[in-house]
C-alpha cells in the first residue's frame, strides 16, 4: 500500500500500545476487514508529528481471497482523513516494504515571512528572518555522498554500536513564493537526521552559521556541534524508492 497521513494526530508510525500510532491504526483496521491478524512493515518509520505523502506499507494476506479495490475502500472509509491509502496492489511474497526499499526521500517545508499563517502552522516551520536560499543550496550540496552523520543523529541507548554512516543521493533547497522547500534522498536516514540538517541549513540561511560550520559538524561526533532540530510538523516522508515494478508507483 502507498499511504499518506497527517502526523499531527499520531505519536509516530511505529506501534506503541500506550499511544495512537499509524501502524497501530493500520494493523487494527486491516485485521478487522480481512478477519485475520495483520502485521505491517513500512519503508521508513516516521517520528511523532511527521507526515507522509508516499509511505509504502506491506503485509501478508491470502491473495486468493483478497479484493484489493474493496480493501482499499474499506480502509479509507475507516481511517480517513488522518490516513489515506492512495494505492493498494498485490506483489511477490518476497517483497518487504523496508528491506526491498533502495532509497527514501523526505521534504521539509518552511514558511519564510514575517507573519505566521495559522492555516499552515501544522505543515510548516515559520521562520521570520529572510533566508539566503543560495547559501542553503551550497550547504546542501556539501552533504551529497557518503558521510558519518553522528552529530545530526539522536542516539538509541539500546544500540550503542549503531553506525551513523549514510549515503545521500541528492539534496537541494528551492523557494516558491513564501514557502521554502528542502528535498533530500538517501539510502536511509538516522533518527532525527533530516530535522537536524534542516536546523543547520536554516541557521546558515539566517547568516548565523557558515558552510565551514556544517563541515565541522560532519567531522564531529557530538550533538553539541549542531543547532536544535527543526520542528517535526514541517517534515514529510515523500517517497520510497524500489526497483521498477516491485511496489506502488510514486
Residues annotated catalytic, as ranges: 47
Cell of 156: 538509541
Q: How many CA atoms lie within 13 A of 129 on its CB side?
A: 10
A 10 A CB-CB count for 181 gives 16
Helices 193-206 and 133-141: crossing angle in degrees, nearest 10, is 140
As a whole number of angstroms, the distance between CA 126 and CA 121 comes to: 7
Q: Give CA 144 to chain center in angstroms.
A: 18
Sign of CA dihedral 229, 232, 238, 241: positive
4 phi, psi to nearest 5 deg: -110, 145
In the chain, count H helices and then E strands.
5, 10
As a whole number of angstroms, the distance between CA 236 and CA 9 comes to: 14
As a whole number of angstroms, the distance between CA 235 and CA 7 comes to: 9
Residue from 88, 86, 123 nearest 4 by CA: 86
8 phi, psi to nearest 5 deg: -60, -25
Residue 108's H or E segment, with its range, is strand 103-112
Amino acid at each position: 500500500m502507498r499511504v499518506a497521513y497527517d502526523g499531527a494526530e499520531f505519536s509516530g508510525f511505529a506501534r506503541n500500545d500506550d499511544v495512537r500510532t499509524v501502524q497501530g491504526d493500520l494493523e487494527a483496521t486491516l485485521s478487522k476487514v480481512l478477519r485475520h491478524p495483520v502485521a505491517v512493515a513500512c519503508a521508513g518509520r516516521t517520528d511523532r508529528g511527521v507526515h507522509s505523502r508516499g509511505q509504502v506499507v506491506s503485509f501478508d494476506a491470502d491473495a486468493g481471497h483478497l479484493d484489493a479495490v474493496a480493501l482499499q475502500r474499506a480502509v479509507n472509509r475507516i481511517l480517513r482523513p488522518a490516513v489515506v491509502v492512495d494505492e493498494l496492489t498485490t506483489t511477490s511474497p518476497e517483497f518487504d516494504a523496508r528491506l526491498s526499499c533502495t532509497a527514501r526521500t523526505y521534504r521539509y517545508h518552511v514558511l519564510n515571512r514575517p507573519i505566521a499563517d495559522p492555516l499552515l502552522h501544522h505543515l510548516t516551520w515559520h521562520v521570520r528572518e529572510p533566508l539566503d536560499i543560495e547559501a542553503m543550496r551550497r550547504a546542501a550540496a556539501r552533504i551529497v555522498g557518503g558521510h558519518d552523520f553522528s552529530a545530526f543523529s539522536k542516539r538509541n541507548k539500546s544500540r550503542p554500536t549503531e553506525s551513523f554512516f549514510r549515503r545521500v543521493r541528492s539534496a537541494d533547497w528551492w523557494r516558491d513564493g513564501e514557502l521554502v522547500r528542502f528535498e533530500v534522498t538517501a539510502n536511509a536516514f538516522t533518527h532525527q537526521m533530516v530535522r537536524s540538517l534542516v536546523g543547520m541549513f536554516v541557521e546558515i540561511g539566517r547568516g548565523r552559521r557558515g558552510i565551514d560550520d556544517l563541515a565541522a559538524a560532519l567531522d564531529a561526533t557530538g550533538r553539541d556541534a549542531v543547532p536544535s532540530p527543526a520542528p517535526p510538523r514541517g517534515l514529510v516522508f515523500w517517497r520510497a524508492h524500489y526497483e521498477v515494478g516491485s511496489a506502488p508507483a510514486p
